[in-house]
Structure 1
Amino acid sequence: MGDRYGTDVLDGDWRAPRRGRATDVEAVPGTVVEDVGTGWVGAVVRVEKAGGMHVVHLEDRRGRVRGFPLGPGFHLDGRPVNLTVPTAERRAQVQAAQQAAARTASGSVRVAGQPARVASGSRIWVEGKHDAELVEKVWGDDLRVEGVVVEMLDGVDDVSELIRGFGPTPQRRLGILVDHLVPGTKETRIVDEARRVSPHVRILGHPYVDVWQSVKPARLGVAAWPVIERGRSWKHGVLQELGWPHRTQTDVALGWKKILASVRSYSDLEPTLLASVEELIDFVTVS
């Protein structure tokens, strides 16, 4: 038989407010809440003790700040909350996040409000699009402040002639980043010749087959980059070994986007690449 009278209307938390019961939330700086009594909406600026009670200060979008008693009477994302004093651990986390935000991806101190400088005559050349995108992601802020432009090469076979065409000078220097620069390779022989073209050129590199390998494999959830045998397309082979789509150039492009997205800062790159790029930047920005 069915229940002719339905469920018990008193069953459950029938006294609960329509928006739910308030939960405790730490008043962490940056948290945006609404004071229910006044409708004031603002981000938490600070919490302080005054007159024997804790007061939370909220800054609205116009930069005005008002203080409210810490505790109940606030909404966060439409839900009722009781604001509480942040714990020491949470304050430390916020401070660490603020310090990280004050630095660029390369670890340099961020220059607030600094427009990009007009490009200088000096340049940094890299071998391909992926190299340029990685350099931009990690060092882009620094390079814009210095006014240094990164340009792509289509390989290094003709780099000596390209250097002569550029015409480096003490005030117009050239830095070049080369892939797979290890003893005994074609790249090493080409670079040795190119270095003799001008004293105002610095050519450095990294030992990896491709700049992909300069990203620490742990960022992709693997212990090491796959080893791809000679005669097999390196990038397609890597994607296949990682279990990613790998058959087309579109797969390669999407694979690189996934790798690049895993890079958060310089700490996700191998030291060999870091040292080379930092030295090149120093070389072309010296006054």
Structure 2
Amino acid sequence: MLTLDTHAGILDRKPDYSQYDMPLYEQITNRIKDGILERLGGGHNSQDRYFIVPFAYQNKGNAPEFSHSFISVIRVLADRKQLHLTEGLRRGFYKNREFEAFTISWLPHDFDTNPNLCVFKGCGSRLFPRMNACPFSPGKSFNLEETIRLAVNVKNAVCMWGPYEVTQAGFDLGVQRLRLLEGGTIKYRADDRLYRKDHIAINCFHAMAGLDQLYPNGGLFGTGFKMWGINGTARVLMEYTDKINFRSQFLEPVDEKNDRYGFVYADKPGIRPYNPFKQSSAYRR
């Protein structure tokens, strides 16, 4: 079980307010772009480079209904080379660098219009999965902008790690997982304990966990208990870096605790909002 130092405002430090009036999505994408450009340097980029950016969001009570884990995957294209693009991915340019990117953010397909997530329903459902009466939902992988908007709508704290540079094989694993989710055969269910093994339904955590192996367990006794929000993505990062077959895909070290950067909602400048991060920026929209 992870140490729950992300729970219920134990830290509550004052965030940086210098970008307070900048929309949260813009704050996040600027941080991603700056981190990638730092790694690329200012010279000629002779080969494709690949990056992942893990995320989580949660509210002050760390309620599973208001928690989410997701990941963005980015390919920066080599300069002045014939392009072999990945079908269906978003393309863009930033400071003369061309990139393609996607996000794995697995939620019920209508979550943007019906954000009432059923996680545990029924007496004893937290302990006994067969007692959970929550329905299945068709799933959808939302893009990064849509996902950040969901966090802003409920004024959640958002955690970001990276960007981390990975190999092409690491990027390809992410694409394979995206294609699997887009195939329509797997549904969404927040409590997937009885259904992930048979590929019937999975939650957001298992949609991004184990990109080389489907449906790993996590949490207390492998139940997935408390594996949501920041703890959920932290568990995924631990899995990525502990397993030899995925650790080899990382081209730089990962420090799950010290690499966290947070974005926290504040209704006015200068206050101390719910802030479970050592380093963070404030947002209002």
Structure showing greater Rg: 1
Q: TM-score range by the shorter chain?
A: under 0.3
Query: What TM-score results when the alignment is normalised by the length of structure 1?
Result: 0.20
Relative to its length, the structure with more helix (as a share) is: 1
Structure showing greater relative contact order (alpha-carbon pairs closer than 8 Å, 6 or more residues apart): 2
Query: What TM-score results when the alignment is normalised by the length of structure 2?
Result: 0.20
